[in-house]
């Protein structure tokens, strides 16, 4: 399903962690990897460009060897310019199915308005993006770094969630071991005027979750858990991840662009900013730029 991937490299611990975790994608069909180092020449003096490029080449060589050891065919490239445009253009031209980028734990908040790599790529992306979260462990056991061992799929039963669920089904076909399908009854929308109907909502939504569960069970030998909670969606998702040490969240995005979604309180992008797990974002139907 993710046969051709782009891995965006940086000179950071998060990037090194990301390259190690990318081995999980081999289980999801990833074969060809383009390892890309980005920089904006306007951010550095002309005299140090050649020095930076030599450092980039050495970094790409080391990371390329790691990926090759995991069975990938690897190409490397250094690109300069507008990172968002360059990466998305390369993804389209190479028909890549996934963009992978690393992010330090809880670092996107600070990098959000400072032009961080993850932010630049997330903004306006049209391809699925995997944000690999740095775990801050010196030696991460292989079973813990395996993103396919357990994924959390939060759903609000929207069209964008349905699109993301199609990716979850493909991941189950490829061998994901466990899926938790999670729905949060949004306290801000229910309390106080609809609180008396909470039991009714839970029963209806449990049936909807059960149907999704049966779809997954029909695809492969996979463990599927369904959960409903009441509260704030972002907080409940983060709690669930922490309770079970879930390595990967799969979510749909609203298609309005990263900046708009942050200021409109998008759950998916709040999760990217705050969750300890890696996050796979599946773009939904993008709205026109004028909206």
Residue 136's alpha-carbon distances to 66, 233, 237, 282, 289, in angstroms, are 19, 26, 21, 26, 38
| 13 and 57 belong to one structural domain | yes
Question: In this structure, what are the phi and psi dihedrals at residue 96, rounded to the nearest 5 degrees?
Answer: -70, 145
Structurally, the chain folds into a number of domains equal to 2
Contact 8, 99 (CB under 8 A): yes
More confident residue, 5 or 84: 5
pLDDT at residue 108, rounded to an integer: 43
Taking 80 as the threshold, does the pLDDT of residue 190 lie above it?
Answer: yes
Residue 59 lies in a domain: yes
- Alpha-carbon span 56 to 47, nearest angstrom: 16
DSSP-derived secondary structure for 248-274: EEEEE--SS-HHHHHHTT-HHHHHHHH
- Report the chain's C-alpha Rg in angstroms: 19
The last residue of one of the domains, among 144, 164, 195, is: 144
The last residue of one of the domains, among 144, 160, 178, is: 144
Residue 290 lies in a domain: no
Nearest to 21 by CA among 5, 44, 37: 5
| 26 and 122 belong to one structural domain | yes
| 10 and 50 belong to one structural domain | yes
Q: Which of 15-29, 100-114, 132-146 is predicted most confidently?
A: 15-29
191 contact partners, CB below 8 Å, separation of at least 6: none
Give the three-class secondary structure for 38. Answer: strand
CATH code: domain of residue 200: 3.40.50.620
Contact 74, 64 (CB under 8 A): yes
The last residue of one of the domains, among 144, 163, 195, is: 144
| 273 and 224 belong to one structural domain | yes
| pTM for the structure as a whole | 0.88
pLDDT at residue 259, rounded to an integer: 42
| 180 and 211 belong to one structural domain | yes
Q: Give CA 61 to chain center in angstroms.
A: 25
Mean pLDDT of all residues in 122-130: 81
Taking 90 as the threshold, does the pLDDT of residue 186 lie above it?
Answer: yes
| 28 and 102 belong to one structural domain | yes
User: Residue 134: which domain range?
Assistant: 4-144
Query: To 5 degrees, how large is the angle CA 258–CA 154–CA 283?
Result: 35
- Alpha-carbon span 52 to 58, nearest angstrom: 10
Residue 270's alpha-carbon distances to 1, 19, 237, 281, in angstroms, are 26, 24, 10, 12
Taking 90 as the threshold, does the pLDDT of residue 120 lie above it?
Answer: no
Contact 279, 247 (CB under 8 A): no
Q: How confident is the model at residue 114 (pLDDT cuts 50, 70, 90)?
A: very low
More confident residue, 100 or 102: 100
Residue 74 lies in a domain: yes
Q: 202-216: per-residue pLDDT in tens?
A: 999 999 999 999 999
| 116 and 248 belong to one structural domain | no
Taking 90 as the threshold, does the pLDDT of residue 96 lie above it?
Answer: yes
Residue 289 lies in a domain: no
């Amino acid at each position: 399903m993710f046969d051709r991937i782009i891995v965006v490299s940086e000179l950071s611990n998060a990037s090194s962690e990301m390259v190690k975790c990318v081995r999980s994608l081999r289980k999801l069909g990833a074969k060809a990897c383009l390892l890309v180092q980005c920089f904006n020449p306007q951010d550095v003096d002309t005299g140090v460009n050649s020095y930076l490029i030599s450092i980039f080449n050495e970094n790409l060589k080391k990371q390329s060897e790691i990926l090759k050891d995991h069975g990938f065919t690897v190409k490397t490239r250094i690109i300069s310019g507008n990172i968002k445009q360059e990466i998305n253009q390369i993804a389209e031209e190479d028909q890549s199915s996934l963009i992978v980028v690393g992010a330090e734990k809880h670092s996107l908040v600070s990098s959000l308005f400072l032009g961080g790599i993850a932010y630049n790529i997330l903004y306006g992306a049209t391809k699925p993006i995997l944000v690999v979260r740095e775990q801050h462990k010196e030696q991460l056991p292989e079973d813990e770094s395996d993103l396919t061992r357990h994924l959390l799929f939060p759903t609000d039963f929207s069209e964008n969630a349905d699109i993301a669920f199609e990716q979850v089904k493909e991941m189950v076909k490829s061998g994901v071991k466990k899926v938790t399908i999670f729905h949060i009854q949004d306290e801000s929308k229910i309390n106080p005027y609809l609180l008396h109907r909470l039991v009714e909502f839970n029963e209806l939504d449990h049936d909807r979750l059960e149907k999704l569960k049966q779809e997954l069970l029909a695809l492969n030998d996979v463990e599927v858990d369904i959960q409903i909670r009441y509260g704030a969606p972002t907080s409940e998702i983060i709690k669930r991840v922490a309770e079970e040490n879930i390595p990967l969240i799969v979510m749909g995005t609203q298609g309005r662009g990263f900046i708009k979604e942050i200021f409109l309180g998008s759950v998916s992008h709040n999760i990217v900013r705050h969750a300890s797990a890696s996050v796979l974002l599946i773009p939904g139907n993008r709205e026109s730029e004028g909206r």
